[in-house]
Each structure stands twice: as C-alpha cells, then as structure tokens.
C-alpha cells in the first residue's frame, strides 16, 4: 500500500519528479541557507520557466506558490492556488485567462476522485484560483490538486468539519498570527507541520506592508522594494511570503481559517483612517485599502461571499463555522469597521495625572473622553448585531471568538514604572520626577486593543452573558507575546464572575519590541502584577503559536515556543531570533474546565505546565 505522504513523519511529495525537486530546492536554498543573495531570487523566474519546459508531471513552475485550502464546512471546502511562473513580478502570465482543472479525492494517490471542475485563472485576480468543492463527506481527510497548461500542481491535503450531530467529541487545531518575513524564519510553522491538527486559525498580520531593510538580521530574508501600495505591490508581497517552504507546507497540509488585522493594509489603521505616519492619506489611503483587501481575497482560501468586494472595496469577513456541535467558531473583524483609536494609536489613559508622562510615551496619552466614548466601536454596529445573533443561536459546547487584538484588561502602569526605573537615558532628577508622577496614575492602556474601546468591550461581554453562550473562548494575536487571561465581568474585582477565557498566541516571527525581545518582556513582566490579577500567564520571550486541544470536558492550550530558557539567558542580542535550526518546545500549558461560566461555577484558567522564565 502506498504510504500516505501526509503522515506526520514524512516530508510530503507524492512521486517527486526531478523538476519538482529542483523547484523545491531552489526556494529552500534561497530561504534557508541565508547565503543566497537577492540576485539569485531575481534570477529564479527565468530558471523556473526553463524547468517548466521539461516538466512532464508533478508540481511545476506554474504552481510556485503551492496549494491551499480553507473554510471547511461539513460538506464543502475552498481549494486555492495561483498560477505564477514569475511570482515576485506580478505572476508572469500577462493578460491571458487560463482554465484550471481541479480534483478532490479520498486518497493521497488521487485515484478515488469524488469531485472535479474547472475554474478560470483570471488576470484581474492575479491568476488566483478559488474552487468551492461541495458535496463532500463530512469529517474526513481529502486530497486535491490542480491542472493547467499541461502542468499539475503538488497534491494538497484538506479536511471537512464534522456534521452538526457528527458525534465528534474532540478537536485539535493551531492558532497563528504575525509573521513578519524579515524578522525571522518560520520555525514555528515547521513545528506546526509535524502536528496532528484538524485546521489552522490565522488571526492576522499574514503579511507586513513595510519597505525592505526593516531589521534584516539576514540580508537574504527581507522585504523587496518600498512600502506596498498598489495591487501589484500587495500581490508580490503575498508571493514573497508564500514562497517560504514552511508556510507553503502548512497550507498544503491543513485547511486555514483566516481573518486579517492591520498589517494586511497599513499599521494600526482603523476603518477608513490610516496611521498618522502612513505614506498614503485621504483618498490615496482608500484606494490603497481597496487594493489590500482585493489581494487579500485573491490570496486566501475564502468562500465567495467573503471575497466579494463591498462598495468601499472592503470585505465581509465576519462569519461563523460550526465544528459539529463541539464548537462554534465566530470569526471577527476588529479592524475594518472600527472607529479611530483614542489618544493617538499607541497608549492612552483616562487619568488626568497621566498628562505629565508625555516624555515617557513620546505622545499625549490623556484622553478620557476618547477612551470612554460610548459610541466607539471595534466591530461596527452590523457586526455587533450579527455576533449577538450568532452567539444566541449556538448550541455548541464551546463558543470560540477568533479575533485580532487583546480583549483582556491590561493596565500597564506597572510596565511604565519599570521602564522609567530601568531607563539609562533619563537623568536622576527627571527620573525621580517621573516616578513620583507615575505613582499618581491609576491606569494606562494599549488603546489599539479592546482596552481603547471599553464601551464596545462591555457590549461584547453583555452579548456573551445575555446569549448564555456556553464556554466562550477568545483567541487573539497582534501583540507578539503569549498571554492567558480570565476575562471578568469586573476587572477591578478579582473574584468577579468570569465571562470568557482568552488565549493570546505569540507571533510566528514578528519581533516583540525589537529583534531582542528581552527588554520589552522585562518591562511587561516586571510590571504586570499586582495590577492585573486576572492575567494568568505572560511570556514575551519567544516566537511561536498555540495548539488548542479540546474535548467535552476541558479546553487545553499549549504555548509552543521557538527557543529555550537557556537561549533566553544567552547574551547575544539575536539569541531568540527564529533561525532554521531553532528548537521548538512547549513553554506552558493552560487549561479551563467546561462549564466555567455557568451560574455558580466561576471557573478560572489553570496552568498545568510551565517552563522556567529565566529573565
């Protein structure tokens, strides 16, 4: 019997042809050796075209960006590829429309095909192909591939969700976010690819919009060109990321459920407002935003209703996916419809005593009116209404909110105090003055997260409580560090009723504060308690991701970390940068028992395993 190429121990490639090996070798050498120059990369497309001429079977030069799948339902799933013989320069197929045949089969050898069809690869979509394969059996592995212009893609693997009453009592999946390409290698994905998972949830910052030379610790792993603005720019940027072999492998192995955050468009943008320092403002920003969402839709394995451009060029991405009756996944979009952040984009406070701290934060942070504005919103009214209904209609054991920015209250007065205490830039008199001032300040918040929108958070918590949704779990990214928190009805009272539990996945590769995460980790950790007793776990040292292992009785989240405690005390400033050889280990395991939010229960997160945090 033929070996399943997707078995966890094997590097998959069914019957690799010589050309396949060469193509894979090229991308792997380019991205893994670190010795190659950009010149090699620029030469790649021509080399790939040469290979295409000799390719008779197996993945080839048309399919340089691999295959992907996503949005699993019980009887359907989206299959994706993009024809791009010249992936970093627009794709290379010009204005022609290319018919692409797709097949989905029960077996990894593709001998038992159960559905097939033809989808056009159109230049207006960058020759991306989305096929909605329907009529599929629920809760099982399926295999798929594409044919175009006499070539055939690699075989991808995907999985349908169980039917509503499918008897499935267990699921295991990964949560990922924030994968800035120049900041490190995708060791986290290499580890994820060895896991047994039903699916992967990506909660944003799939690409970063910045120019080349942003902290390139390795000159061969960098962005290309300037900050991206046009549809062509965004297309080439997605291609750069998708050429990474570990990311490409993850998409070929597991269906993804994705939602964007800010960097898919512009750092810290809100609704129709760009970041203050953005190179595009006004109408130019709106055009850029339209380009960004257009190419996001092209690049991701999304359903037709989520890819269709709205009048403003945006997408309707909030949606709900049932994993049988074990879990309901409510996927949120907290970026596209939000009101502008209060107090600038960084930090804010409702306490007038904070006005004296401008020198610490580099901006005015006091903005009580903005932070407490009852009309402020992260989701927009339509999405808030939709979520209320989605929660009320759910009968699932677990209600999962897959979303972008941290929901837990995080009072960072302590972190600011530690920052001042440890500062070597402040003279002794100024330091003394600032320490006296900060002792007067009750609270400081990260206003790009839900802390900047407390009225909107209250409405969300009210929805969670009033809907009686069972076991709400919030999954988050954005902040490039790992957190576990009990979301309480009243954060000022540690004994208050729990509303939900939140797990924040650290970044795949994006830095926490800087290439060396230890200073920022130290400020946050040093100032976390006693001000935030509901926060059960924090670690900013490592890049990585979360594994969620869920059954009817408990939710368990494993924080996978790129790097070790020994590396965390290595004096080299790049000791914790993810490299191709970095070890990946479990940093901590947190659990919560089902029924935690039932009347009279008031459960809490428990840490069942934790490595030492040495710094």
Q: Which residues contribute to the site for Fe ion (CB under 5 A)?
A: 178, 205, 510
Smallest gap from residue 263 Cβ to Fe ion (A): 6
> Is the bond preceding residue 530 a cis peptide, omega within 30 degrees?
yes
Give the shortest CB-478-to-Fe ion separation in angstroms: 6
Alpha-carbon Rg for the chain in angstroms: 24
Residue 205 or residue 244: which is nearer to Fe ion going by CB? 205
Q: How far is the CB of 109 from Fe ion (least distance, A)?
A: 40
Using CA atoms, how far residue 542 sits from 63, 152, 479, 518, 566, in Å, is 33, 39, 12, 9, 12
Of 417 and 543, CB closest to Fe ion: 543
Q: Measured in whole angstroms, how far is the alpha carbon of residue 466 from the centre of its chain?
A: 29
Distance in Å, CB of 446 to Fe ion, minimum: 13
Cα four-point dihedral sign 476, 477, 479, 480: positive
Q: Please, how many CA atoms are within 13 Å of residue 121, restricted to the half-sphere of its CB?
A: 27
| Residue with Cβ nearer Fe ion (407 or 463) | 407
Q: Shortest distance, CB of residue 510 to Fe ion, whole angstroms?
A: 5
Strands 554-562 and 543-551: antiparallel
Coil, strand or helix at 100: strand
H or E stretch at 296: helix 282-299
Q: C-beta of 476: minimal distance to Fe ion in Å?
A: 11
- 471 or 481, CB closer to Fe ion? 481
By CB atoms closer than 10 A (0-12, 13-18, 19+), residue 495 is exposed
Q: CB of 513: closest distance to Fe ion in angstroms?
A: 12
Residue 422 three-state SS = helix
Query: Nearest approach, Cβ of 204 to Fe ion (angstroms)?
Result: 7
Classified as helix, coil or strand, 345 is coil
What are the DSSP calls for 423-446, one per residue?
-SSS-HHHHHHHHHHHTT----EE
If the CB atoms of residues 398 and 512 are measured against Fe ion, the closer one turns out to be 512
Tokens standing for residue 552: 């009817």
Give the residue with the Cβ less far from Fe ion, 156 or 184.
184
- Cβ 508 to Fe ion, closest distance in Å? 9
- Least distance from Fe ion to the Cβ atom of residue 477, Å: 7
Which lies closer to Fe ion via its Cβ, residue 467 or residue 481?
A: 481
Which residue, 205 or 249, has its beta carbon nearer to Fe ion?
Answer: 205
Instruction: Report the residue number, 264 or 367, with the smaller CB distance to Fe ion.
Output: 264
Residue labelled with tokens 């368990």: 556
Asked whether the beta carbons of 119 and 131 are under 8 A apart, the reply is yes
Here the tokens at position 544 are: 């990585």
In the 8-state DSSP scheme, what is residue 565?
H
Using the minimum distance from each CB to Fe ion, give the nearer residue, 249 or 262: 262
Q: How far is the CB of 267 from Fe ion (least distance, A)?
A: 9
How far, in Å, CA of 59 to CA of 42, rounded? 21
For Fe ion, the closer CB: 406 or 568: 406
Q: Measure the CA–CA gap between 594 and 597, rounded to whole angstroms.
A: 8
Contact indicator for 331, 319 with CB cutoff of 8 Å: yes
Q: Rounded CA gap, 474 and 470, in Å?
A: 13
Quick one: CA dihedral 554, 323, 296, 127, positive or negative? positive
* Minimum CB distance to Fe ion, residue 180 (Å): 7
Backbone phi, psi, residue 141, to 5°? -70, 140
Say if CB 178 and CB 507 are below 8 A apart. Answer: yes
Nearer to Fe ion, 205 or 266 (CB): 205
**Which is nearest to 325 in space by CA: 138, 467, 486?**
138
């Amino acid at each position: 019997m033929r070996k399943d190429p997707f078995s966890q121990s094997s590097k998959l490639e069914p019957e690799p042809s010589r050309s396949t090996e060469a193509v894979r070798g090229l991308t792997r050498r380019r991205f893994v050796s670190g010795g190659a120059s950009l010149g090699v990369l620029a030469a790649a497309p021509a080399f790939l075209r040469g290979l295409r001429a000799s390719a008779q079977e197996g993945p080839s030069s048309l399919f340089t960006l691999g295959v992907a799948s996503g949005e699993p339902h019980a009887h359907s799933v989206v299959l994706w590829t993009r024809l791009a013989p010249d992936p970093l320069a627009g794709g290379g197929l010009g204005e022609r429309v290319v018919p692409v045949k797709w097949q989905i089969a029960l077996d990894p050898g593709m001998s038992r095909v159960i559905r097939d069809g033809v989808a056009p690869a159109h230049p207006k979509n960058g020759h991306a192909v989305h096929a909605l394969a329907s009529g599929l059996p629920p809760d099982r592995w399926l295999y798929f591939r594409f044919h175009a212009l006499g070539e055939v893609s690699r075989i991808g693997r995907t999985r349908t969700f169980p039917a509503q009453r499918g008897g499935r009592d267990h699921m295991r999946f990964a949560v990922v976010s924030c994968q800035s390409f120049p900041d490190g290698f995708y060791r986290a994905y290499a580890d994820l690819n060895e896991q047994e998972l039903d699916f992967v949830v990506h909660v944003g910052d799939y690409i970063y919009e910045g120019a080349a030379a942003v902290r390139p610790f390795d000159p061969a792993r960098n962005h290309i060109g300037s900050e991206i603005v046009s549809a062509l720019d965004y297309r080439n940027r997605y291609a750069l990321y998708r050429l990474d072999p570990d990311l490409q492998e993850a998409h070929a192995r597991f269906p993804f459920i994705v939602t964007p955050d800010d960097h898919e468009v512009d750092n810290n943008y809100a609704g129709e407002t760009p970041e203050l320092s953005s190179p595009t403002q006004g109408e130019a920003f709106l055009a850029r935003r339209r380009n960004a969402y257009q190419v996001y839709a092209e690049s991701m394995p999304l359903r037709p209703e989520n890819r269709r451009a709205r009048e403003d060029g945006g997408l309707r991405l909030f949606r709900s996916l049932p994993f049988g009756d074990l879990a309901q996944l409510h996927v949120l979009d907290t970026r596209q419809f939000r009101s502008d952040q209060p107090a600038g984009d960084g930090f804010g406070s409702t306490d007038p005593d904070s006005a004296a701290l401008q020198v610490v934060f580099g901006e005015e942070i006091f903005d009580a009116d903005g932070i407490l504005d009852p009309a402020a919103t992260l989701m927009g009214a339509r999405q808030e209404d939709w979520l209320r209904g989605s929660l009320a209609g759910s009968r699932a054991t677990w209600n999962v909110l897959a979303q972008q920015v941290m929901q837990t209250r995080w009072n960072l007065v302590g972190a600011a105090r530690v920052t001042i205490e440890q500062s070597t830039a402040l003279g002794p008199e100024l330091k003394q003055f600032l320490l006296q001032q900060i002792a007067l300040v009750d609270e400081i918040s990260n206003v790009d997260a839900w802390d900047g929108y407390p009225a909107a958070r209250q409405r969300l918590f009210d929805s969670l409580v009033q809907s009686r949704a069972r076991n709400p779990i919030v999954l988050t990214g954005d902040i490039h560090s790992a957190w576990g928190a009990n979301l309480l009805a009243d954060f000022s009272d540690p004994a208050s009723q729990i509303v939900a539990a939140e797990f924040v996945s650290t970044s795949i590769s994006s830095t926490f504060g800087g290439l060396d995460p230890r200073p920022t980790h130290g400020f946050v950790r040093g100032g976390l308690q006693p001000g935030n007793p509901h926060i059960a776990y924090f670690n900013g040292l490592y890049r990585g991701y979360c594994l969620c292992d869920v059954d009817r009785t408990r939710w368990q989240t494993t924080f996978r970390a790129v790097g070790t405690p020994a590396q965390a005390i290595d004096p080299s400033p790049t000791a914790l940068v993810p490299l191709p050889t970095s070890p990946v280990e479990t940093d901590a395991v947190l659990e919560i028992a089902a029924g935690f939010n039932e009347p009279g229960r008031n459960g809490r997160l428990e840490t069942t395993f934790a490595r030492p945090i040495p710094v």
